[in-house]
A and B are shown apart, each in its own frame.
Chain A
Amino acid sequence: MARRKQESDGGDTRIVVFYCQHTVSDLTRIDPITDRAEGLYVKPVMLTCSSKIQVSHLLAILDGQAEGVEVVACPKRGCRFLTGSTMAEKRIIHARGLLEEIGVSGERLGISWKSGLSADALVHLARLRARAIQELDGKEGNA
């Protein structure tokens, strides 16, 4: 498994945001964001559906590439593929269980169901995830 080169300075909380293309109001690519003040690095990744996430991929990301992952899915009854955003949640729950088994907090994986988001709103979700994780790092130690 190749390790992705760290794109931020050491010490930042890196959050990968997987978002379904139908959750944002604008399909323009959202560039990665560094917020020095908050010690935050956000990498947005657009998917055709939130159900494209795979448990193995989420875990691989947490093993060195990021401190947390936030998934943004369509409202459960609004998924264009009908069960996509529900499936995404099940995978997050499953992955959380696996993390808990090795003593890593499930808080590192988040999911929310949104629509009509702006780029700023999307990044804000990542910021909230980062804050939740930063609170952990004092308690459970960093991977």
Chain B
Amino acid sequence: MIFAERKPIEEILGKIEGCKRVLIAGCATCVAECAVGGEAETETLAPLLSMARKRAGSALDVVTRTVEKQCEWEFVEELADDVGAADAVISLACGIGVQAMAERFLDTPVYPGVNTSALTMREETGLWVSRCAACGDCVLGETFGLCPVARCAKSLMNGPCGGSRKDGKCEIDENLDCVWNLIVERAEERGQLEALSEIRAAKSWSNSRHGGPKRVVREDLRQ
């Protein structure tokens, strides 16, 4: 799912300096799943902002509300009254949710409370790993179900590079598996190592952000 990490509290405080009342808006979908923007996290941030402002001698009223998804207008609408009563909103949603809030509530500044950073899978409790890079040209069918775009530091299509460590980890992070090592292993297990001797030609990145901001119309679904 979409993965985010919390912003330093100091950064958030800096944005709401002149405010007397803020709304912390949570989202119950992706950011709740990675425990950074759901209801519990809005209720974690609230007393921290409150305490920090008391110590600074400038009390702050904090209201917390969490909706199902901040990327859907119907749920964003539920926050109208609370936004109206606040000087600013701190949205703990991903960048998509923050923008939906900002677009719907033009009169109130909406500040992000998290840094959206990856598309991940929760491999284990407390461990999220980037698995997809939204490259728009999925090659998983040729790499035995392991994504070299997201999981190789250099997004190699003909890996591994010379930076693969002895223990099969990536040069840049001793905890990160060298995904090309895994791809070769899987190919060997299936008896299809031959497939990796083919030279994969340069990838087209044009169906991703590199080709320009995406704007996709599905006529079959339009009203």
Give chain A's interface residues, CB within 8 Å of chain B: 1, 54-57, 59-60, 62-64, 98-99, 101-104, 141, 143
Contact = CB atoms under 8 A, between A and B. Distances in A.
Contacts of A143: 51, 54-55
Contact of A56 (B13, B40, B52): B40
| Best-buried of B54, B62, B64 by chain A (most CB within 10 Å) | B54
Given A102-B48, A103-B55, 8 more contacts: A1-B62, A56-B41, A56-B43, A63-B46, A101-B8, A102-B10, A143-B51, A143-B55
A124 B144 CA distance: 60
A102 B43 contact: no
B47 A141 contact: no
DSSP majority for the B interface?
A: helix
Size range of the chain B interface in the assembly: 10 to 19
16 contacts: A1-B46, A55-B40, A55-B44, A56-B40, A56-B44, A59-B47, A59-B48, A59-B51, A60-B43, A62-B51, A63-B47, A101-B48, A102-B51, A104-B51, A141-B55, A143-B51
A98 B44 contact: yes
Contacts of A57: 43
A38 B24 CA distance: 38
B52 A103 contact: yes
Interface of B: 8-10, 13, 40-41, 43-44, 46-48, 50-52, 54-55, 62, 64
Contacts of A141: 55
Nearest to A65: B47
A60 B54 CA distance: 14
B54 A101 contact: no
Contacts of B62: 1
B54 to A, nearest CB: 6
| Best-buried of B10, B43, B48, B50 by chain A (most CB within 10 Å) | B48
A123 to B, nearest CB: 26
A54 B42 CA distance: 13
Contacts of A63: 46-47, 50-51, 54
Contacts of A60: 43, 46-47
Contacts of B43: 56-57, 60
A35 to B, nearest CB: 25
Nearest to A54: B40
Contacts of B10: 101-102
Nearest to B64: A1
Nearest to B10: A101
Given A56-B40, A56-B43, A60-B43, A98 B48 contact: yes
A16 to B, nearest CB: 14
A64 to B, nearest CB: 8
Contacts of B41: 56
Contacts of B47: 56, 59-60, 62-63
Contacts of A55: 40, 44
A62 B40 CA distance: 16
Top 6 closest A-B pairs, CB basis? Answer: A63-B47, A56-B43, A102-B52, A59-B47, A56-B44, A143-B51
A102 B54 contact: no
Contacts of B48: 59, 98-99, 101-102
A57 B48 CA distance: 11
Nearest to B40: A56
A62 B49 CA distance: 12
